[in-house]
Amino acid sequence: MKLLLPLCLIALLFTSLSYAAGFDCTKAKTATEKAICSTTSLSDLDEILVLSFNKAVAGSADVKALKTTQQAWLKTREACASNVDCITKAYTSRISELINLVAKNQKPTTTTSSNSSAKPAAPAAQQTTNTTPNPKPTGKTLTGKITSYECGDNCYLTVQDDQSKNHVALCTAPLCESWNEVAEIPTSYMQKKVIVSLGRAKQYDGAGNEMGEMDAFESITLLE
């Protein structure tokens, strides 16, 4: 999940108070850039945007046009000044556009098959997230820190508990949705202390075929 960099943004005057954004917060100059660096949720959104933009660039047939639209979006974002709600809306809208573009670019080409019984390819959205929650919660929760996030046909999160035991499960919590879209976790979440709840979810292969169930993190609560 990393994507984009035309965010040559910026940072807070007090580095000790800044969060990890997708740009160098020590160089923040505008009111918008400073608001991003001083607001955790905006810093996280900026990281996700950068990841999404880079992913879109990697699969784009017209990188120049994509960069032009990104520059236009930056002007829209800057117009928000220090209004957090306005900045948040700008980010969520642009991230949605980029994710849709990535999904479109990654959409597999279909071929005509004489085998009418062949299963159709899974929808693009399913191939991206590859997890369908199953209402069979285990009722178990655990406290630990995020140590790993990996995506193949499915996306998995590893949480190390207080006894240094690693717990690997499908990443199906709402917090995982944006990570799964770009197959990467913002670096600011690594080593974060969390409480997670465990349930069960289905796994799928790249063609969308069900492979069975395994543990899944259904909710993730940050403790720091």
Q: What share of the chain is helix, strand, coil (3-state, %, to 5)?
A: 40, 25, 35
Question: What distance in Å separates the CA atoms of residue 20 and residue 46, rounded to the nearest whole number?
Answer: 9
What does pLDDT average to over the chain? 76
Diameter of the chain measured on Cα atoms: 65
Region 104-126: what's the mean pLDDT? 45
Residue 65 makes CB contacts below 8 A (sequence gap 6+) with none
CA distance 170 to 50: 24
Lowest-pLDDT range, 82-91, 101-110, 125-134?
125-134
Between the alpha carbon of residue 83 and those of residues 3, 78, 88, 148, the distances in Å are 24, 10, 9, 34
Residue with the larger pLDDT of the pair 111 and 204: 204
Given the DSSP bridges, would you call strands 210-222 and 166-171 parallel, antiparallel or unpaired? parallel
Question: Residue 184 is encoded by which pair of tokens?
Answer: 């990467």
Mean pLDDT for 114-141 is: 44
Q: What pLDDT score was predicted for residue 139?
A: 59
3-state secondary structure of 144: strand
pLDDT in tens, 19-74: 456 778 888 899 999 999 999 888 888 888 888 888 888 888 899 999 999 999 99
- All structural domains of the chain, each given as residue ranges with its CATH number in brackets, are 15-106 (no CATH), 125-222 (2.40.50)
Asked whether 52 and 106 are in contact (CB, 8 A), the reply is no
| R_g over Cα of the chain | 19
pTM value is 0.50
Q: Could you tell me which residues are beta bridge partners of residue 193?
A: 145
Q: Report the C-alpha gap between 119 and 101 in whole angstroms.
A: 25
pLDDT at 12 over 80: no
Q: Give yes or no for a contact between 220 and 177, defined as CB atoms under 8 angstroms apart.
A: no
